Structure 1
Amino acid sequence: MHAKVRVRVLGVGMGPQHVTGEVAEALGTVDYVLAAEKTADDQLLALRRAIVAAHPGPTGPAEVIAVPDPERDRSAGLSAGGYDAAVADWHDARAAQYAAVLTERGGTAAFLVWGDPSLYDSTIRILDKIRALGVDADYDVLPGISAPQLLAARHRMVLHDVGRPVHITTGRRLQDAVTEGQDNILAMLNPPPDRLDFTGLEDWTMWWGANLGAPGEQLLTGRLADVLPALAPARDAARRVDGWVMDVFLVRRT
């Protein structure tokens, strides 16, 4: 029987400047931080280390334990079912690796989640898988500043018209949302623009942002057909500065 492990799931926005007082206090209570290492020169791992260093506990910053991230099938032509299966396999592999570390180390661990844990992040799902593997883990979740919040703030806008909804989805499901009749759509987890289908949306308005809150932040807005040619160069510019790129956009029928 393994000892109980405490895990803290902490939303950290896009860097040290977005860490709330609540999350900063929580960072001071953990023994170590578990973080995926995607490449040998993982700039997002470096950013996680900067967040931890900026918010030390009584004896200094928590230790950051880098766990090599399992490979995932990212083929451009995956069907919806194939994509879901690839992600499920990836999550299973992640859960097994994290479970091994938590079982060995015990104590209080943390996962740092980009943006907010409630939006297109699977840390909570992976923790459920870890518990199913037999790890006695008790966890709490603290919110962070999300990409949609940052997008709205940077463009000085409200994400929806008065009394109207905003539909949140992924870029690969954009046309599904349009077919369903959605006309105010916020898309996250976006691939490069050449892999997105903007058919029929040429006259819609787009508000787009990449690496929001980071040094390489990029912003574009206007009629979608006019903005579209600038998306790839802007993504490349963000990547050159930060070493990584994540973007989010809102499209609305004019």
Structure 2
Amino acid sequence: MVQELSLIGIGTGSPAHVTLEGVQALRDATVILLPCKGAGKNDLAEIRHGIIAASGTDARVVTFEYPVRDEALPYLTRVDVWHNEIAARWQAVLDAEWQSGPVALLVWGDPSLYDSTIRIARRLLPAPAIRVVPGITAIQALAAAHAIPLNTVNGPVEVTTGRRLRDLGWPGMAETVAVMLDGECSFQHLDPRGIDIWWGAFLAMPEQILRRGSLGEVANDIIAIRKAARAKHGWIMDTYILHKDT
């Protein structure tokens, strides 16, 4: 029985994003689970391997294939089934490979913000003690890359998803909106008047791309750059911050 599972936030692509606590958690682990996300995404695994090597850990690295979501299912059902399958694959690997000691899993960004790793870990049976080691979020990395504060003085900020931005529009009384998990450039569905955008992809990697400006002026540029970068790399991770002049 796995008694402790450490979920380690590793930031957005730079080994320097891993905290000293995260490095120690890697060194304490006896097994590190590493996901393989399919053809064209090998560099994601390579980044994780680089972080593991830099930590100096003696842990054994075991890989598992990431399942694909069934797009035919309704959204919430699709995600629930997907999470069950991820947990089942973790379970199968651990049943076959684990012998003793703590297990670690590297989580892109931070496990607490728009990430389901903690929820998935709670589906393991028997349930291990879950240790969460915080990391740099994509929002932090984006704000730092653009050298901006996330909020205005006393101004409200909302963190949401591209899906909600498309379905519900600008959220409530927020001045600033940080958008996660948006593969469809949902900002193009907003009235751009009075809105500025700070966008970034491949944050903290050598491939990092940044764009900023009035939404009406740079939206099409961002859409084109994103499409080209995705075609070149086979994948893309991006996020953006919107601010409305109220």
TM-score, normalised with respect to structure 1? 0.86
Residue 93 of structure 1: which of 74, 85, 92 is its match? 85
RMSD: 2.1
Shift of 1:65: 1.6
- For 1:47, give the aligned amino acid: I
Aligned equivalents of 1:147, 1:241: Cα separation in 2: 21
Please give the per-residue CA displacement for 1:10-65, whole angstroms capped at 9, x wherever unaligned.
Answer: 000023121111111111111121122121442211211111111122xx4x3322
Aligned equivalents of 1:64, 1:241: Cα separation in 2: 29
Task: Name the SS for the 1:93 alignment partner.
Answer: helix
Aligned equivalents of 1:222, 1:4: Cα separation in 2: 49
Which has the higher mean CA deviation after the structures are superposed, 213-222 or 199-208?
199-208
In structure 2, stretches of 5+ residues that fail to align are none
Matches within 5 A, 1:66-81: 66-74=63-71
Q: Alpha carbons of 1:74 and 1:43: their partners in 2 closer, same or farther (altered >3 Å)?
A: farther
Aligned equivalents of 1:177, 1:20: Cα separation in 2: 36
Query: What percentage of residue pairs aligned between the two structures are identical?
Result: 37
Aligned equivalents of 2:200, 2:215: Cα separation in 1: 13
Q: Which residue of 2 aligns with 1:229?
A: 220
Please give the per-residue CA displacement for 1:190-223, whole angstroms capped at 9, x wherever unaligned.
Answer: 1032x65433134311111111101110111111
Matches within 5 A, 1:1-254: 3-15=1-13, 16-41=15-40, 42-57=42-57, 60=58, 62-74=59-71, 82-104=74-96, 105-107=98-100, 108-130=102-124, 134-175=125-166, 176=168, 178=170, 180-193=172-185, 197-236=188-227, 238-239=229-230, 244-254=235-245
May I ask how many residue pairs the two structures share in their alignment?
240
Which has the higher mean CA deviation after the structures are superposed, 243-252 or 90-99?
243-252
TM-score, normalised with respect to structure 2? 0.89
Aligned equivalents of 1:203, 1:128: Cα separation in 2: 43
Contact 1:9 1:117 in 2 (8 A): yes
